[in-house]
Amino acid sequence: MIIVPYVTGYLSEHYADDDFRTLSAYKAKGGFEGLKKALAMEPEEVVEIMKSAGLRGRGGAGFNAGMKWSFMPKDTDRPKVLVCNGDESEPGSFKDRLIMERGPLQILEGILIAAWAVGASKAFIYIRGEYKEPIRCLEAAVKELYGARLCGENVMGKKGFNIDIVVHSGAGAYICGEETGLLESLEGKKGQPRKKPPFPAQFGAFGLPTTVNNIETFAHAPYILDRGVDWFRGFGTEKSPGTTLYGVSGHVERPGLFELPLGTPLREVIGHAGGVRGGRRLKGVIPGGMSMPILTPNDIDVPMADEFLSERGTHLGTGGVMVMDETTCMVRVACVVSYFFRDESCGQCTQCREGTGWINKICERIEQGRGTQQDMKLLEDVPAMMEGQTICAFADAAAWPIQGLMRHFRDDFEAHIREHKCPYPESFEL
């Protein structure tokens, strides 16, 4: 199935056009101008441009991409590696899939620019295993690049600029999207996150200096290099420049992807999806994929950029906007969320392995009308004990949505305990 965004910007402008995936059409639409400009500069200049563009990583944490590129060690003759993270397993997130299917050459051009900037000679694109079509699209695009001598040795005729690109099918676990879990999986091991330090820039894929970026992050780079920092900063906010592909799902009339500037008010983003289905009232919105705390209708005008969302106790994450209408039972939401995290914990850390299971059991008990006030206390204590205590941020991602639901929808939990049943007969089925 082809998904084409309802609103387009520079990234998705040509996504309706099948040919955009071929090298000739991509070049005809301005493709590889960014790389050409990058290769005319010293690598350090490219890094500086990326830093001042302020492109924030689109994989969830929002770290400045140019800054990350600058961490790659310069005083080493060991091979350097780039990893492009296409694992995209966060429930509510589906933007990277679209970019891989409709704009694979944007990603590859971004990878080539980054390779020149950081001196990498090998790049791995790690793609969620279930994403068969994205894998096919990227493999076809990489093949075309080799044929056109746009990767391999002396790329674009630049002597000594050698880069090999490998497409790797992922291992089918959410935790393989966490960058060090991904690196382990790439090496053929169990996808269990590593303790940090050392960070990937020092000890990454196969022990080599490595930079990991998200699919969408790489896809923005060619436009920055080609059109310039001021142009890029013309979109979005000062702290979060550029556009992003908001993926709107749930109780809306027209779920889909919408490319809009960062900082677009939440009301407008949901408006592009046709608003809440059937004219019902809005009850809650998860703004950035399932691991982000929920917002309430009071937050409907918040600009969708991390600096504004963090003031409201949540984050932009991956821009996956999940809309819930007034029929929604928030305890059922807590059951779904906690079931996912219980299932996906890699099990290395006690707080995460045990905490996610406890939370799920407590939520299910409350939903079934068997909860007590002691369960409410546990639902406050257990997530607090998981946060910031573990090898990776998965435990935080498991704790935050529950904390958000308890903060804003405590009444829903209390009503289940008081009435010994779920008071939302019209809510979705578990």
Ligand X SMILES: Cc1cc2nc3c(=O)[nH]c(=O)nc-3n(C[C@H](O)[C@H](O)[C@H](O)COP(=O)(O)O)c2cc1C
Question: Pattern 326-355, binding to ligand SF4, x per CB under 6 A?
Answer: -------------------xxxxx--xx--
Of 188-247, binders to ligand SF4 (CB under 6 A) are 193
- Contact partner at residue 353 from ligand X, ligand SF4, none, CB < 5 to 8 Å by partner kind: ligand SF4
CA–CA distances in Å: residue 349 to residues 376, 384, 386, 395: 24, 15, 10, 9
* Residue 388 to residue 257: CA distance in whole angstroms: 32
CB of 91 to ligand SF4, least distance (A): 16
- Residues 350-389 touching ligand SF4, rule: CB under 6 A, are 352-353
The answer to whether residue 148 forms part of the interface with ligand X (CB under 6 A) is no
Q: What is the residue whose two structure tokens read 């391999």?
A: 152
Residue 79 lies near ligand SF4 (rule: CB under 6 A): no
Closer Cβ to ligand SF4, 282 or 398, answer by number:
398
| 58: contact with ligand X by CB under 6 A | yes
Give the Cα separation of 388 and 49 in Å (integer): 33
Distance CA 319, CA 165 (A): 28
**Minimum distance from residue 315 beta carbon to ligand X (Å):** 12
Using the rule CB under 6 A, is 395 a contact of ligand SF4? yes
Partner from ligand SF4, ligand X, none contacting 89, C-beta within 5 to 8 A by type: ligand X
Give CA–CA dist 290/318, Å, rounded.
9
Site map for ligand X, 163-202, x if CB under 6 A?
Answer: ------------x-xxx-----------------------
* Residue 397 lies near ligand X (rule: CB under 6 A): yes
For ligand SF4, the closer CB: 190 or 277: 190
**Residues in 210-269 at the binding interface with ligand X, rule: CB under 6 A:** 212-214, 217
Part of the chain binding ligand X (CB under 6 A), chosen from 52-60, 276-284, 371-379, 380-388: 52-60
Q: In the complex with ligand X, which residue's Cβ is closer, 322 or 329?
A: 322
Q: Which residues bind ligand SF4 (CB under 6 A)?
A: 175, 193, 345-349, 352-353, 390-392, 394-395
Residues engaged in binding ligand X (CB under 6 A) = 57-61, 63, 65, 68, 85, 87-90, 175, 177-179, 212-214, 217, 392-394, 397
